[in-house]
A and B are shown apart, each in its own frame.
Chain A
Amino acid sequence: MPKVTVSSALQEQSFELNDEDSLLVSSEKAMNKAIPVGCRGGGCGLCKIKILSGEYLSNRMSKAHITEREALQGYALACRIYPLSDLKIEIVETIDKRKKLTRSV
């Protein structure tokens, strides 16, 4: 089974991918907490990642979160990525955005 390695500023971790599932759902099933879980439908942008290496298929995702230029640079939403090989990815920090959204509560 292919494996994904997630690097962040703090640590590197890896988990195994399921054939049927998107990268995000594989991550959820592996109890991995590194990739934030949002709508799982390519709409909200919470699970934004950068794919550093590996082969994958991708489904349509919101252009509000992944522009065509970003897609060419390897940016993607993990919920729309179906890996074909081992992947190396990093999390694109969306924490600042979430803090802004919670300013009033």
Chain B
Amino acid sequence: MKKGVMRPGHVQLRVLDLEEAVLHYRDLMGLIETHRDSQGRVYFKAWTEVDKFSVVLREADKPGMDFMAFKVLNNEVLDQLESDLIAYGCEVEQIAAGELDGCGRRVRFVAPSGHNFELFAEKEQTGKWGVSNVNPEAWPRNLKGMKATRFDHCLLYGPNVKECNALFRDVLGFDLAEQVIDPEGNLVGAFITVGMKAHDVAFIDSPEPNQFHHASFFLETWEDVLRAADLISMTDTSIDIGPTRHGLTHGKTIYFFDPSGNRNEVFCGGDYHYPDHEPVTWKAEDLGKAIFYHDRVLNERFLSVLT
């Protein structure tokens, strides 16, 4: 949190059929539907999150990610980072408070990978869902499906991974926790964090800009990941791969798709990162093991299936 960026705040995804997507994110993944706005967008949160929402779905004619946002400490930090981004040469856009219901002013910028990111300082906090903040019980008893606990990170594909890492490091204070280096020494995968997590967002090199690989949600245990896999079969949901383990970050994971083809992950465990840690390196020639630690080969979908 070197520059005052605290944590991931929200992700807005495009879906082809809104109500079909609501069934997926609410009833299968167990997110809580918290709001619908005048534009028809649907807002969700995971039950351990204090904010009113962390996932927004918008119906559109092509799926993918509209933007991912991070929360910063306060409005002074937001002003400072906005001018820092402009000075760095980023294309920056002001989004007025209330454009997303319950969210304050947002500063949107385009990363060198082509993705839209946002910073904000204020969002309505409704508290953890279903448990009190005083003498809280362990978990609420009426959760659905996979019972996802929090929106954790996104993996994004695009060009200029090195430049993305530099921007997030130098302007926004992120650390490079894990990296993929090709035989020529180029940074082709960057897993970056503002806190102790192995990644808050990750970039993988790909020529086409602004490609969405997945949005990931945290579960507590391996048993929960296995149970998520059972639910994927019970609901005949499109699966990608898993349950398995990643080499990168060492998370235990399953990948699957929402009804519009946006990839989701639920995972548990994984590495941690302190600011004095050297980045963990995986060699691009061993990417199979880096991505799928047990199979040790990539499935073709990991590299080519994007929205």
Q: Which A residues lie within 8 Å of B303 (CB)?
A: 98, 101-102, 105
Q: Which A residues lie within 8 Å of B298 (CB)?
A: 105
| Count of CB-CB pairs between chains A and B under 8 Å | 95
B35 shortest CB reach to chain A, Å: 24
Q: Taking the complex as formed, is A69 at the interface, i.e. its CB lies under 8 A from any CB of chain B?
A: no
Query: How many Å lie between the Cα of A39 and that of B301 in the bound state?
Result: 8
Q: Which A residues lie within 8 Å of B287 (CB)?
A: 105
What residue of chain B has the Cβ atom nearest to residue A100's Cβ?
B207
Q: Which A residues lie within 8 Å of B284 (CB)?
A: 104-105
Contact between B300 and A104 (Cβ–Cβ < 8 Å)? no
With contacts A103-B207, A104-B186 taken as known, whether A37 is within 8 angstroms of B304 at the C-beta atoms is no
Q: Taking the complex as formed, is B276 at the interface, i.e. its CB lies under 8 A from any CB of chain A?
A: no
Q: List 24 A-B contacts (CB under 8 A).
A: A37-B301, A38-B261, A38-B301, A39-B301, A40-B261, A41-B260, A43-B64, A43-B261, A44-B305, A44-B306, A46-B301, A59-B16, A60-B16, A60-B17, A62-B63, A64-B64, A97-B304, A101-B157, A101-B207, A104-B182, A105-B284, A105-B285, A105-B287, A105-B303
| Chain A interfacial positions (CB closer than 8 Å to B) | 36-44, 46, 59-65, 79, 94, 97-98, 100-105
By the criterion of a CB under 8 Å from any partner CB, how many residues of chain B are at the interface?
Answer: 34
B269 shortest CB reach to chain A, Å: 25
Q: Taking the complex as formed, is B265 at the interface, i.e. its CB lies under 8 A from any CB of chain A?
A: no
Question: Could you give, for residues 257-284 of chain B, a 1 whenever the CB lies within 8 Å of some chain A CB and a 0 otherwise?
Answer: 1111111000000000000000000001
Contact between B207 and A40 (Cβ–Cβ < 8 Å)? no
A contacts with B: majority SS:
loop
Contact between A61 and B16 (Cβ–Cβ < 8 Å)? yes
Within 8 A of A (CB), among B290-304: 298, 300-301, 303-304
Q: Which B residues lie within 8 Å of A104 (CB)?
A: 182, 186, 188, 205-206, 284
Q: Taking the complex as formed, is B223 at the interface, i.e. its CB lies under 8 A from any CB of chain A?
A: no
Q: Taking the complex as formed, is B12 at the interface, i.e. its CB lies under 8 A from any CB of chain A?
A: no
Q: Which A residues lie within 8 Å of B206 (CB)?
A: 101, 104
Query: How many Å lie between the Cα of A62 and that of B205 in the bound state?
Result: 23
Contact among A41, A46, A105 with B258 in the assembled complex (CB-CB below 8 Å): A41
Q: Which B residues lie within 8 Å of A39 (CB)?
A: 238, 240, 257, 261-263, 301, 305, 307
Contact between B188 and A105 (Cβ–Cβ < 8 Å)? yes
Query: How many Å lie between the Cα of A22 and that of B182 in the bound state?
Result: 39
Contact among B240, B262, B285, B304 with A43 in the assembled complex (CB-CB below 8 Å): B262
Contact between B260 and A43 (Cβ–Cβ < 8 Å)? yes
Q: Taking the complex as formed, is B62 at the interface, i.e. its CB lies under 8 A from any CB of chain A?
A: yes
Contact between A101 and B16 (Cβ–Cβ < 8 Å)? no
Query: How many Å lie between the Cα of A41 and that of B306 in the bound state?
Result: 11
Most chain-A Cβ atoms within 10 A of its Cβ — which of B182, B205, B262, B300?
B300
Query: How many Å lie between the Cα of A59 and that of B64 in the bound state?
Result: 17
Q: Taking the complex as formed, is B61 at the interface, i.e. its CB lies under 8 A from any CB of chain A?
A: yes
Q: Which A residues lie within 8 Å of B17 (CB)?
A: 60
Query: How many Å lie between the Cα of A36 and that of B285 in the bound state?
Result: 24
Query: How many Å lie between the Cα of A3 and that of B288 in the bound state?
Result: 37
Most chain-B Cβ atoms within 10 A of its Cβ — which of A42, A59, A101?
A101
Query: How many Å lie between the Cα of A60 and that of B304 in the bound state?
Result: 21
Contact among B16, B208, B263, B305 with A46 in the assembled complex (CB-CB below 8 Å): B305
Contact between A38 and B207 (Cβ–Cβ < 8 Å)? no
What residue of chain A has the Cβ atom nearest to residue B207's Cβ?
A100
